[in-house]
Amino acid sequence: MTILQQEMILPNGTKLSNRIAKSAMSENASNKNHEPTKTLINAYKKWAQGGAGLLITGNIMIDSKALGEPRNVVVEDEKHILLLKKWAETVKGTQTHLWPQINHPGRQAMEQINSELMAPSAVPLRSSGRKNATKKIPRALLENEILDIIERFGTTSLILKKAGFTGVQIHGAHGYLVSQFLSPHTNIREDKWGGSLENRARFVIEVYRSIRKKVGADFPIGIKLNSADFQKGGFTEEESMEVVKMLSKEGIDLIEISGGTYEAPAMMGKRKESTEKREVYFMEYIEKARTITKTPLMLTGGFRTSSVMEQAVASNKVDIIGIARPFAIFPNIANDIFSKKLTDCTTQIQKTGVKAIDGAMNIIWYESQIKRLGKGEKPNPKLSPWSVFIKYAWLIVSKKLFFLFI
């Protein structure tokens, strides 16, 4: 038995059966009704048999008027409850928890699929590092709209609980709305929602309280939080540590650490040499965070070898090992690590030599692999990036036409 197979008890008493978690990967596998599809549910059936203690879904939107991507699942009322139940049932009979990640994209969204973009302040994206994110100037949210979004986080969580999911994760990282409120770069409000860190953190704290009020004390709530935005004038490491303290005081059950935004995508591994050598991103941060909180910490970004994962847990720096991209290629990853069949889950995509295409593959190549899983096919580590690119280019063209009809 490896240390990664030790169980973990969260502050509210919830038991995770081991230390390996699938971090969120937006599957972009819904349909125009924004419901969970067969493909999506089937991918989770496969992952549910893979032995991880926790599976976190790709981000689910809390408002159909604020979509990150065209094929996001949206949960804002009970109209998809039967399909959500089927999704939640994928882990039935296993020891795996399934937590949806819930999100509002704020300004980091495609303008083609949203009638308007809203954010804490009217600050546009400087450059879009990913897909079709827009540079359009968002509109600053009004106070009543902020309160409505906070309420929605709670409502969505309650529906997910009713459907049978065993916890939720707030997406508080990567430059989406929660993270936009935290960052002085994107939040220049002068009311009680902006300015001091206490004011900028008010949104995430109220989101947490709204969810807790609806789901009760026994239902685990986690958050994915940026260690920093890695941007001049952005959310700093020191501020992030303060937010960790605030959320811990509120009683949050699990804090997952990541970092970056569309403008500075550190979550995908733009690393300094020292970090590269150590395989894992944000490790220095987690070591410091460990000293200021007793809340269980999950770290995501770069974990690939079982020896490094074991060492991170054994040295008590991290409680839960978060892994994303390798789950798309090694769906049985936790079992295979435990049985020592897999000691290195590095994935490598062939290079096309075209920078823009190779950059996009970090997302769309993995989405294609998830869709293969959902269709009952085996992952294909040799999948040609050109074939993925051509498929997506066609989709983008057809989606543009599709947008005219929805």
Ligand X SMILES: Cc1cc2nc3c(=O)[nH]c(=O)nc-3n(C[C@H](O)[C@H](O)[C@H](O)COP(=O)(O)O)c2cc1C
Tell me, letter by letter, the H, E, C secondary structure of 339-370: CCCCCECCCCCCCCCCHHHHHHHHHHHHHHHH
Contact between 26 and 59 (Cβ < 8 Å): yes
- Give yes or no for residue 24 binding ligand X (CB under 6 A): yes
Q: What are phi and psi of 323, to 5 degrees?
A: -135, 135
DSSP 253-266: SEEEEE---SSS-G
Residue of 105, 106, 301, 374 interacting with ligand X (CB under 6 A): 301
With respect to ligand X, which residue has the nearer C-beta, 30 or 300? 300
Give the binding range for ligand X (CB under 6 A) out of 107-115, 128-136, 301-309, 375-383. Answer: 301-309
Binding track over 152-181 against ligand X, x by CB under 6 A: -------------------x-xx-------
- Give yes or no for residue 36 binding ligand X (CB under 6 A): no
With respect to ligand X, which residue has the nearer C-beta, 17 or 59? 59
Binding track over 93-132 against ligand X, x by CB under 6 A: --------x-------------------------------
- Give yes or no for residue 26 binding ligand X (CB under 6 A): yes
- Give yes or no for residue 59 binding ligand X (CB under 6 A): yes
With respect to ligand X, which residue has the nearer C-beta, 138 or 172? 172
Residue of 4, 146, 283, 324 interacting with ligand X (CB under 6 A): 324
DSSP 404: T
Q: Please, what is the end-to-end C-alpha distance for the chain in angstroms? A: 52
- Give yes or no for residue 300 binding ligand X (CB under 6 A): yes
Strands (E) in 199-250, as ranges, are 221-226
With respect to ligand X, which residue has the nearer C-beta, 96 or 194? 96
Interior angle at CA 248, CA 247 and CA 251, nearest 5 = 90
Contact between 247 and 255 (Cβ < 8 Å): yes
With respect to ligand X, which residue has the nearer C-beta, 140 or 266? 266
Closest CA to 242 of 225, 254, 264, 262: 225
Classify residue 93 by burial, with Cβ atoms within 10 Å: 0-12, 13-18, 19+: exposed
Residue of 54, 62, 109, 267 interacting with ligand X (CB under 6 A): 267
Rule CB under 6 A: which residues touch ligand X?
23-26, 58-59, 101, 171, 173-174, 224, 258, 267-268, 300-303, 323-325, 363, 366-367
